[in-house]
Structure 1
């Protein structure tokens, strides 16, 4: 689908903003002289009053090629923000995507009108590549969305980084939606390698290299699978000689639970257990597309957690790359065993100024926060505040939870330096405490548990039409934009 910014209306459908102060927009007269006066009695007779979510449609007379004009309520002007603009654009696309209309023009609304296009693009996402029996009326007809504004240059400038961020979201959604027989560590790494075409440097480490590096914790997770484990390093160098910011993502391409086998119902959702890595990959794509003036490295640990005769057992003890030992008491608490080695490698190799890791790490975070916020854990107040602000700005919100030595004590093991689970209480916190043991003194670090927001069935807003939400790229991109660019 094409997204354009123009000064004039064109296409099959015109959409004009309305609000409670002016629910019959004067902009109608720009389309046809006297049109607002003609339409006003019809609008007055209806219950349309320009409230958010309300629409009023009519078929214009003597406008060749225009199927209909829609007045769409934006709500009270003082309550309009980026989220409401995104939902406005998303609502338009959702209603017209399969309607038969091919081109829609949407009236811009204020200085932040590019957010309308962002919402429209997020809502236009589809993942139906494996659907072979769709009827014509189920297939998208909409081909072009035009944002109509008198200030094309300013809106176009604002749209460029938003478009890049939406590309990152699309990437993350695509990766998560793929079935696990298509997306496994090696094929995933190959997809990332293709991003060198947009200026990223990609290095793939296979099991031979990982063994030499001592990543025995990560390799232990993948040893029950016939698919080779991989670590992929993605570098964007747009900030001169400064130390990079590091993003680290959990990439368990399928999580059966291993020997600690998960229950069968809904196990198919475990193809999404690589959502943290998808967020990192999507963010790196966004940064490259908008040519961010910062140095950022993204690292993802890609494994499958499967239960064959060679699989890691409860009771096994592994030595991590850091030299610390871990007693594996539950093979379904595998994500932290992947992340600990990649976090250590990131620090050893890149000496980053700060680290943010993302993972679909615990079901406990859903008990705590539901599906509305990701859980945030950090050793640094400034980084935590930066992430919280970035999340609010982009609608990918995080909520900080506590950490302390008392929680850390729950990880004590009789036989190794630590165990990989802390018991039934505070499961998300003890997972974060585990990861903190692999962060070097003085390195600002944040862990984001996205298990509750990476995918969601049921009621979702129009910007999020997919099983996979694509959470993360916009959050990370905004973090870089607001705090780490030159």
Structure 2
């Protein structure tokens, strides 16, 4: 869909989207339309339950007095509570509503209430961002859709007082949106299309944005001692890969980077500890964490973020076969620690164990954040409303939580403590890869923490928020790309702004670590 910006005007054809505030209060363009149509909008509002709540709509077809095909009223909520999210929702709702009405072209009037904190350009940019996200469809495998089944909308014009400023403001937002859409596409692809090798092929063109892309094959990983990651992969005909993406956008290109590590299990059958058949098709998106890291790197490089960033994806397929890892096996990790494999379906933490250690060993990052569709237990705990957040650093956890609230990707912090750590104690190895049925998400995080040195670290369990079974204003049903916007905002607020610059604080006074959450990784043997 083509997006453009223009000065406020009443189009001669197509649809026009206008805003309405709480209490059925018309915005500026809606008021003008009401006058031109002889009060049709006021009469429509008077007879409808629609009262201007944010995200709600009312369609007025073929209004008298103008040549428009229809007017779409979109609720903006209370005038004094209009935010960037309100405008993104407006753009998203406009596109999803128009998609089923048959209009090929439409305009959206971005009218702000008096005293709004956003400028006209910022408001229009946010509305365009929401529209761009809402327009996503993963339909490449649908061969028999009729024209009526496809959205007709091909062009949307955002009307505001400063179209040139809006165009400029939209450039970094568009780069972020493209990162989100890359993640959604990766997560939506079936496992016979996206597997470790093709995942790497798909993101190879990130090099065009200035990202150094490197792929470690099985031989290189074996030489490094990544027995945990390789153990997961050994049952599959698809060879594993470790994808390394490096972007240097800070003024000091040699300064230590912030690092993001993603679990990339491109299909998870559970291995020998095989999953039930019902719902197993969902396990094509068990590489959601890796998808987020790839999309985040595209977004950061696309908007030319002033930060040094490394993204690492551990890519494997977890399958049952004669060569598959067995319950009871002991694997040697890159850190030198050993793991007794109790359940081969607790494989993501094994992949991350080696990827996290490799990341710290090679890049010495200032902060490290991993993302993984790690546990079903987090879905039981938090449903699809929040991701689970674990961290050894209070300031880092607070920054991630705040970033999530600001973009609508909310995280809820759960505890780490020695008592939970004891649950994964093994009788024959340094640890086992799963405990009992209690605190499953926490013990998984405790496992990962054993592979963190003294780096501020956060683990985000996105199992409940990676895939949505219903539409939302800016997130169509399917892959959500939860985490791309969250971590882009984190980089803006913390890394680029220097709010939490531990690279300049050699004393470590900027850290506020929990005593029970210090890294327990041993040195590599």
Q: TM-score range by the shorter chain?
A: over 0.9
Match of 1:341 among 330, 354, 367: 354
1:128 aligned onto 2:139: yes
Aligned match of 1:182: 193
1:431-452 Cα distance to aligned partner (Å, 9 max, x none): 00000011112x1000000000
Structure 1: distance between partners of 2:106 and 2:265: 40
RCO higher in 1 or 2 (8 Å CA, sep ≥ 6)? 1
Q: Does the residue aligned with 1:314 lie in a helix, a strand or coil?
A: coil
- In the alignment, structure 1 segments of 5+ residues that lack a partner are none
Q: Does the residue aligned with 2:262 lie in a helix, a strand or coil?
A: strand
Give the 3 Å change call, closer, same or farther, for CA 41–276 of structure 1 in structure 2: closer
Q: Report the Cα offset of residue 28 of structure 1.
A: 4.3
1:348-379 Cα distance to aligned partner (Å, 9 max, x none): 11110010000000000011111100000000
Over 3 Å off, 4+ runs: 8-11, 28-49, 60-64
Q: Report the Cα offset of residue 32 of structure 1.
A: 9.1
Q: Which moved more, 1:97-106 or 1:211-220?
A: 97-106
Give the 3 Å change call, closer, same or farther, for CA 43–366 of structure 1 in structure 2: closer
Q: Does the residue aligned with 2:53 lie in a helix, a strand or coil?
A: coil
Q: Which moved more, 1:424-433 or 1:109-118?
A: 109-118
Contact kept? 1:204, 1:231, Cα under 8 Å: yes
Equivalent residues in 2 for 1:23-62, closer than 5 Å: 23-28=25-30, 34-35=36-37, 37=39, 39-52=41-54, 53-61=56-64
Q: Which moved more, 1:99-108 or 1:17-26?
A: 17-26
Structure 2: distance between partners of 1:78 and 1:5: 25
Structure 2: distance between partners of 1:139 and 1:192: 28
Contact kept? 2:38, 2:65, Cα under 8 Å: no
Q: Report the Cα offset of residue 69 of structure 1.
A: 1.7
Contact kept? 1:280, 1:300, Cα under 8 Å: yes
Q: Does the residue aligned with 1:484 lie in a helix, a strand or coil?
A: helix
Q: Report the Cα offset of residue 340 of structure 1.
A: 0.5
Aligned match of 1:395: 408
Q: Report the Cα offset of residue 83 of structure 1.
A: 2.8
Equivalent residues in 2 for 1:456-475, closer than 5 Å: 456-457=468-469, 459-475=470-486
Contact kept? 2:232, 2:347, Cα under 8 Å: yes
Aligned match of 2:2: 2
Q: Report the Cα offset of residue 18 of structure 1.
A: 1.2
Q: Which moved more, 1:136-145 or 1:84-93?
A: 84-93
The alignment covers a number of residue pairs equal to 483
Give the 3 Å change call, closer, same or farther, for CA 180–97 of structure 1 in structure 2: same
Aligned match of 2:509: none
Q: Report the Cα offset of residue 401 of structure 1.
A: 0.3
Aligned match of 1:483: 494
- In the alignment, structure 2 segments of 5+ residues that lack a partner are 113-117, 498-525
Aligned match of 1:450: 462
Q: Report the Cα offset of residue 164 of structure 1.
A: 1.6
Q: Report the Cα offset of residue 330 of structure 1.
A: 0.5
- Return the TM-score normalized by structure 1: 0.95
Q: Which moved more, 1:46-55 or 1:170-179?
A: 46-55
Q: Does the residue aligned with 2:409 lie in a helix, a strand or coil?
A: coil
Q: Which moved more, 1:154-163 or 1:342-351?
A: 154-163
Q: Report the Cα offset of residue 36 of structure 1.
A: 6.1
Structure 1: distance between partners of 2:58 and 2:100: 18
Structure 1: distance between partners of 2:332 and 2:28: 70
Contact kept? 2:386, 2:412, Cα under 8 Å: yes
Give the 3 Å change call, closer, same or farther, for CA 26–463 of structure 1 in structure 2: closer
Aligned match of 1:73: 75
Q: Does the residue aligned with 1:375 lie in a helix, a strand or coil?
A: strand
Match of 2:386 among 348, 373, 392: 373
Equivalent residues in 2 for 1:79-228, closer than 5 Å: 79-110=81-112, 111=118, 112-113=122-123, 114-228=125-239
Give the 3 Å change call, closer, same or farther, for CA 58–323 of structure 1 in structure 2: same
Q: Which moved more, 1:24-33 or 1:350-359?
A: 24-33
Q: Report the Cα offset of residue 49 of structure 1.
A: 3.5
1:235 aligned onto 2:238: no
Structure 2: distance between partners of 1:98 and 1:58: 13
Structure 1: distance between partners of 2:256 and 2:172: 23
Structure 2: distance between partners of 1:26 and 1:288: 38
Contact kept? 1:173, 1:466, Cα under 8 Å: no
Structure 2: distance between partners of 1:36 and 1:160: 39
Contact kept? 2:247, 2:308, Cα under 8 Å: yes
Q: Report the Cα offset of residue 184 of structure 1.
A: 0.5
- Return the TM-score normalized by structure 2: 0.89
Contact kept? 1:125, 1:466, Cα under 8 Å: no
Give the 3 Å change call, closer, same or farther, for CA 316–141 of structure 1 in structure 2: same
Q: Report the Cα offset of residue 345 of structure 1.
A: 0.4
